[in-house]
Amino acid sequence: MNKTSFFMEKAVEQYCKNIEQFILNNADAKKIANIKIYLKNQAEIIYGIPMKRLKSLFLKHLSEFDNLESEYIYSLINELFISKAYEKQIIACMLLERYYYKFQEENIIRLIKDYILNDIIINWAIADQVSTNTFSKFNNKSFLHEFALSDHYLLRRCSVTVFAEMPLTDEDINMLINNIRELFQEKNEYVMRAAGWACRNILNYNESRYFQFIDESSHLMPRIMLRNAIEFLDEDIRVNILVSSKEKRDSIKNK
């Protein structure tokens, strides 16, 4: 090991210790049970700090990493993710969101994909943080179609959640619709709900395209996906869509 590698390893080790101490100082064992329910027990280590509170507490510390070289930050993010601790992974997501521009996008994609496929990231909450806050900023999102075809439900979920909260261009809308179409046979509830959630965002940027897609595809969508996609429409419009989709489904069945 050369001197540079040695000092980087020691520096990252110290940062990890500082972050762990920060987490321990704010841990609340009474909240662990509720967080387990929220994550459907899909977390190996939980200290009892709800995500919103943790992000608020740690936000004031983020600038402390601004002068770190990219390899230090990358190594730190990696260590926090592989810890498999929920709160440490949230902080890793925060660091990734702030410093993603320091790394090649394909390296981040490969890293997160490997984390998911190798059970390092095991819950939808962490996958959502990466997709909505980091992947959404990438210039080239073509990798998301591969995610939509993945055997792993978290990658399929990422393929649509990326678009759920970001401003959408026409190109983004086309990509999102194509990915949702790949999920019409979806059976996983987390993926179906995410697709509906993302679909709702189209309405904010292209109302005619949203209603055109719903009209063409409502009967092809799993019901959970459709109900989430139209959740915030006026009740009369929502009921009309549900009735129409049922009639179309029944018509197909009876042919």
Using pLDDT thresholds of 50, 70 and 90, give the confidence band for residue 253.
confident
Same domain, 97 and 184: no
Same domain, 115 and 5: yes
Residue at 53 is within a domain? yes
Same domain, 146 and 118: no
Say if residue 159's pLDDT is above 70. yes
Same domain, 182 and 239: yes
The total number of structural domains in the chain stands at: 2
Using pLDDT thresholds of 50, 70 and 90, give the confidence band for residue 174.
very high
Same domain, 2 and 118: yes
Residue at 71 is within a domain? yes
230: domain CATH number is: 1.25.10.90
Same domain, 48 and 159: no
Nearest in space to 168 (alpha carbons), one of 212, 199, 128: 199
Residue at 18 is within a domain? yes
Residue at 77 is within a domain? yes
State the average pLDDT over residues 200-215.
97
Residue at 87 is within a domain? yes
Same domain, 156 and 90: no
Task: Please say which residue of 68, 93, 122 terminates a domain.
Answer: 122
Sorted by sequence, the CB contacts under 8 Å of residue 225 that are 6+ apart come out as 180, 183, 186, 192, 193, 195, 196, 199
| Domain span at 35 | 1-122
Task: Please say which residue of 67, 92, 122 terminates a domain.
Answer: 122
The three-class DSSP label of residue 32 is helix
Say if residue 8's pLDDT is above 70. no
Same domain, 113 and 150: no
Say if residue 200's pLDDT is above 90. yes
Residue at 132 is within a domain? no
pLDDT at 1: 47
Same domain, 24 and 83: yes
- Asked if residue 226 lies in contact with residue 196, where contact means CB atoms within 8 angstroms, the answer is yes
State the average pLDDT over residues 94-98.
97
Task: Please say which residue of 122, 154, 178 terminates a domain.
Answer: 122
Nearest in space to 55 (alpha carbons), one of 16, 97, 13: 97
pLDDT at 5: 61
Query: How many angstroms separate the CA atoms of 171 and 124, rounded?
Result: 26
Residue at 128 is within a domain? no
Same domain, 96 and 158: no
Residue at 9 is within a domain? yes
65: domain CATH number is: 1.20.1660
The three-class DSSP label of residue 91 is helix
Same domain, 112 and 155: no
Say if residue 111's pLDDT is above 70. yes
Nearest in space to 161 (alpha carbons), one of 146, 174, 144, 178: 144
pLDDT at 198: 98
Same domain, 231 and 173: yes
Sorted by sequence, the CB contacts under 8 Å of residue 58 that are 6+ apart come out as 22, 91, 94
Say if residue 122's pLDDT is above 90. yes
Write the pLDDT tens digit of every residue in 44-56: 999 999 999 999 9
Identity at 45, one-letter amino acid code: I
